Amino acid sequence: MRNSIETRVGIFVLLALGIFTYMGIQVGALRFDRARYALYRIYFKDISGVSRKAEVKIAGVKVGWIESVSLIPDHEMTVEANVMISRDYSLYADSYAIVRQDGLLGPKYLEIIPGDPLTKKLSPGDALPRPSRAPVQMDEVLQKVKTIASNIESITDSVNDVLGGVRGKEQLHDMMENLKSTAERLASFSESIDRAIGRNDENIDNLFALGADMRRLAEKIETQVVPAVRSGADKVAQVLDRDFDRIASTLESAAESFEDTAAHARDGLQSINSVMGKIDEGKGLLGKLINEDDTYRDIKVAAQGLKNYFAKIDRMQIVFDAHVESMQRPAENYKFEDAKGYFDIRIHPNDDYFYLVQLVSSERGFVKRKETFREYTDEKCEPVNPDTLDLTDRDKLRFIYAKKQERFYRGSIRFGLQFGKLFDDVAVRFGIFDNTVGIGIDYDIPFKSEKFRWVTSIEAFDFTGWNRLDDRRVHIKWINRVYMFRNLYVTFGADDFVSKHNASAFFGVGIRFGDSDVKYYLPNLSGVGSLGAAID
């Protein structure tokens, strides 16, 4: 049985390591194809929101990742980003980079503009010569929105000053009267033109009559006048007749156009007068903005609140941590070695303090105690000394004063909720540890190497020994976490080492993700899940 438990624990650990390794390879945390990628250097003035392992894309297609991001301590405080790009894609002398974001709340990434192939090709290790573009900050967008709102307020104030109040209404009334008078004068002018055309018709008839007399005169002098003169007179008469008709038609059309224009102008001014009246009464959004200061202040407060909310969300950090601990000695009231599993969620509202939510499982389980107290009473419910009673041994055992039950629940789960305060490399935690009150101290041992990290911790909880059977000493635990990768670590230490029967060394592995890692891994994991579904 013992070998079977050890075998299962070993298989579980190997399977977990295999799954972590597979996930790391799939999402890019562990790479064995680095020879297929070339390193390039890119410089920025600001690279907010972009971190290590962020994606590098060309035309929206992933071609690499960001290897490292560092700040150059020069007078301009330039940021240097080293990126790995597939050797299948070439960069040229006019290439540059842009910081983009996948959607509104998605992760940020680098978009590479490869440049013109006719220019010089860059070699691996070169820096992109053209200046890169920094991301657009939310503060700048909100500041522009604030400026636009101020401009709208100035315009509405100007309109209100010109058209608002009694004076503005009088000006609009005078304008309408002037337009009405102009329309009446245009109508009178058109009637005059119509009468003039009527009088010209009578003159034209007289002119035709005079033409008959001229014809008789022409017959008399036909032999004396050159035929060419007669033909020219006929052409002149035709031209005059045609011009009179065209002039009359043109004047009539002009009169109708003036009438239509006056009607449209009158309707337009009536609409403007109605709109200005509603604005002056404070109706509609524009009227409220002009007449009510509370609406503008509410919009301003809402915008400021939205800005503060996004600022808090951007500062908050969440860390997910899970690890297993395999004990080296048999546990109390258990003939096998215990194995524990921990899942932690660590929330950092800012850099000074944090909250820790914890789930703990144990193969040995946890003890649960129950005590029942009894006493002897007479018919009047008065306490009676059992030494004065004649009781059998069976009755004495049945009505014992205190009955105590202790049970271990195998594989049960305990909870933890802790508050922590940071002091440089030291963090102090206090709160609930395994359903009991406790305190812990974490020390992040400072090493010069960024690729190696060692955190050692001391935890003290269960001060009355409630989770043990015959030992009331405090539960003290020493735990170490050694990070040789970004997200994977090895843990070891001594659990309950002051206990009489439960002290044991342990060894285990763990995995740790930050919120930036989750934003990076989730799109890739969804792609892996889709691939698995397609294979099934």
Same domain, 466 and 328: yes
**Whole-number Å distance between alpha carbons of 296 and 285:** 10
pLDDT of 357 = 95
**Whole-number Å distance between alpha carbons of 64 and 109:** 11
Same domain, 276 and 337: no
Please give the DSSP secondary-structure letter assigned to residue 121: B
Phi/psi at 70 (5° precision) = -140, 155
pLDDT of 249 = 66
Same domain, 170 and 49: no
- Residue 340 amino acid letter: K
Residue pLDDT, tens place only, 138-177: 666 667 777 887 777 777 776 666 666 667 667 767 777 8
Same domain, 211 and 328: no
Judge whether 502 and 471 are in contact, CB under 8 Å: yes
pLDDT of 246 = 65
Residue pLDDT, tens place only, 398-432: 555 555 566 656 667 888 999 999 998 899 999 99
- Residue 376 amino acid letter: Y
Point out the domain boundary residue: 291, 306, 337.
291
Q: CA-based angle 44:46:47, to the nearest 5?
A: 85
- Side-chain-side CA neighbours of 501 within 13 Å: the count stands at 13
- Residue 83 amino acid letter: V
- What are 252's strand-pairing partners? none
Residue pLDDT, tens place only, 81-94: 999 999 889 899 88
**Whole-number Å distance between alpha carbons of 484 and 512:** 12
- Specify the 3-state DSSP secondary structure of 116: coil
- What are 480's strand-pairing partners? 456, 492
152 domain-assigned: no
Same domain, 345 and 489: yes
Same domain, 127 and 169: no
Residue pLDDT, tens place only, 333-366: 777 888 889 999 999 888 788 999 999 988 887 7
Point out the domain boundary residue: 118, 136, 154.
136
Supply 30's token pair. Answer: 């562990």
Same domain, 415 and 325: yes
Same domain, 54 and 196: no
- Among candidate residues 68, 58, 61, 60, the one with its CA nearest the CA of residue 95: 58
Most confident of the following: 3-7, 72-76, 305-309, 327-331: 327-331
Q: CA-based angle 297:299:303, to the nearest 5?
A: 115
Judge whether 427 and 457 are in contact, CB under 8 Å: no
**Domain containing 215: what range?**
162-291
471 domain-assigned: yes
- What are 158's strand-pairing partners? none
pLDDT of 533 = 47
282 domain-assigned: yes
pLDDT of 231 = 64
CA distances from 478 to 41, 134, 221, 475, 525 (A): 43, 46, 143, 10, 35
Helix ranges, 370-497 (H): 393-398
CA dihedral (279, 283, 287, 288) in degrees, to 10, reads 160
Residue pLDDT, tens place only, 446-466: 876 767 889 999 999 988 877
50 domain-assigned: yes
Supply 168's token pair. Answer: 């503005």
**CB burial class (10 A; 0-12, 13-18, 19+) of residue 265?**
middle
3-state helix, strand, coil in the chain (%, to 5): 40, 30, 25
Residue pLDDT, tens place only, 238-271: 654 565 566 556 656 666 766 776 677 677 667 7
Name the residue with higher pLDDT: 481 or 179: 481
Same domain, 204 and 332: no
Phi/psi at 497 (5° precision) = -75, -5
Same domain, 103 and 196: no
524 domain-assigned: yes
Same domain, 128 and 241: no
Same domain, 428 and 321: yes
| Number of structural domains in the chain | 3
pTM exceeding the 0.85 threshold for the entire prediction: no
**CB burial class (10 A; 0-12, 13-18, 19+) of residue 374?**
exposed
- Residue 195 amino acid letter: R
How high is the mean pLDDT of the chain? 76
Name the residue with higher pLDDT: 55 or 30: 55
- Categorize the per-residue pLDDT at 531 as very low, low, confident or very high, splitting at 50, 70 and 90: very low
392 domain-assigned: no
Q: Which residue has the tokens 């058209």?
A: 163
Whole-number percent of the chain with pLDDT over 70? 62
Phi/psi at 358 (5° precision) = -135, 140
385 domain-assigned: no
Judge whether 399 and 376 are in contact, CB under 8 Å: yes
- CATH number, residue 442: 2.40.128
* Residue 110 pLDDT > 50: yes
Which is it for strands 366-373 and 426-433: parallel, antiparallel or unpaired?
A: unpaired
* Residue 492 pLDDT > 60: yes
- Categorize the per-residue pLDDT at 5 as very low, low, confident or very high, splitting at 50, 70 and 90: confident
Average pLDDT over residues 210-222: 65
128 domain-assigned: yes
